[in-house]
Amino acid sequence: MSNLAVLDALLSSEFYYFARKCFHTIAPGKSFLPNWHLNAIAYQLEQIERGETTRLIVNLPPRSGKSIFVSVAYVAWLLGHDPTLRVIVVSYSNELAAELHRQFRMVLDSDWYQRLFPMTRLSKDTGLEAVTTVGGGRYATSIEGTLTGRGADLIIIDDPHKAEEAQSDKALAQVWEWFSGTLVSRLNDQRTGKIILVMQRLHPDDLAGRLLAKGGWGPISTCRRSRPSASAFRFARAASNSGVLASRWIRSAAGSRFSKT
């Protein structure tokens, strides 16, 4: 087997390495900095793909790779394996939604991606919506955008709050009403449909805070204070198998200090 064949086999079977390849495609010349939290994200996303969990919250600081891993690479990965899948990705602004969609297209247009997934081809792309030749695709919109007539197997919410409005009770309430009254109804199947929330924490009553208080969501939540030990990460994998991935066990196992949510 050639080196290229080995690489292709790795990229098509291991999401973490696929996401790293996406990073280099989106940001050529920049260094990818491996860190344990990216492995944790990749592991949880693989659980979502297998249907072992349907709700996930990723709370990480800005510039930590969460959007590239979840909103760009993960969607490209899923459509590579199943081009009939329908994904909605929502952000707080049209500008952010369009930029993440542009990065997604960079991955799909790359030679290596088309070599890995020859059955995934686009029949249409509008800059916010990419439709595959078999009817699946990725639709990007904002909190204030329209979802009328749209359905999804997976919904990704990437930064639903504007930072400058994070202390506004009215703005926080509007995001919650939008989520509970509009967004959840867009799932094609309420039983098996999946939702991932990706955001930095901005307020105790932000969307992540409300969902965590409600229960039923597995959070990945850290700050930048220290790296847990290898034994802590192994414990993370075990905890994930039971549907729990929260900072309290990381802190306990590693002796590190993390934010609780």
What structural domains does the chain harbor? 3-221 (3.40.50.300)
pLDDT digits (tens, 9 = 90+) for 93-131: 999 999 999 999 999 999 999 999 999 999 999 999 999
Overall average pLDDT of the 212-230 stretch: 61
The pLDDT-based confidence of 25 (bands split at 50, 70, 90) is very high
pLDDT value of position 228: 40
Overall average pLDDT of the 13-42 stretch: 95
Average pLDDT over the chain reads 85
pLDDT value of position 225: 36
Q: What is the pTM of this model?
A: 0.83
pLDDT digits (tens, 9 = 90+) for 156-212: 999 999 888 888 999 999 999 999 988 999 999 999 999 999 999 999 999 999 999
pLDDT value of position 73: 98
Q: Of all residues in the chain, what percent carry a pLDDT higher than 70?
A: 84
The pLDDT-based confidence of 2 (bands split at 50, 70, 90) is confident
pLDDT digits (tens, 9 = 90+) for 232-246: 344 344 434 433 333
pLDDT value of position 63: 87
pLDDT value of position 220: 67
Task: Compare 220 and 73 and report the one with higher pLDDT.
Answer: 73
Specify whether the CB–CB gap between 112 and 21 falls below 8 A: yes
User: Taking 80 as the threshold, does the pLDDT of residue 77 lie above it?
Assistant: yes
Least confident among 28-32, 174-178, 187-191, 224-228 = 224-228
The pLDDT-based confidence of 19 (bands split at 50, 70, 90) is very high
pLDDT value of position 254: 29
CA distance 178 to 78: 26
pLDDT value of position 132: 98
What's the angle, vertex CA 89, arms to CA 54 and CA 76, rounded to 5?
A: 80
CA distance 122 to 99: 18
What's the angle, vertex CA 16, arms to CA 192 and CA 91, rounded to 5?
A: 55
User: Taking 60 as the threshold, does the pLDDT of residue 250 lie above it?
Assistant: no
The pLDDT-based confidence of 247 (bands split at 50, 70, 90) is very low
The pLDDT-based confidence of 146 (bands split at 50, 70, 90) is confident
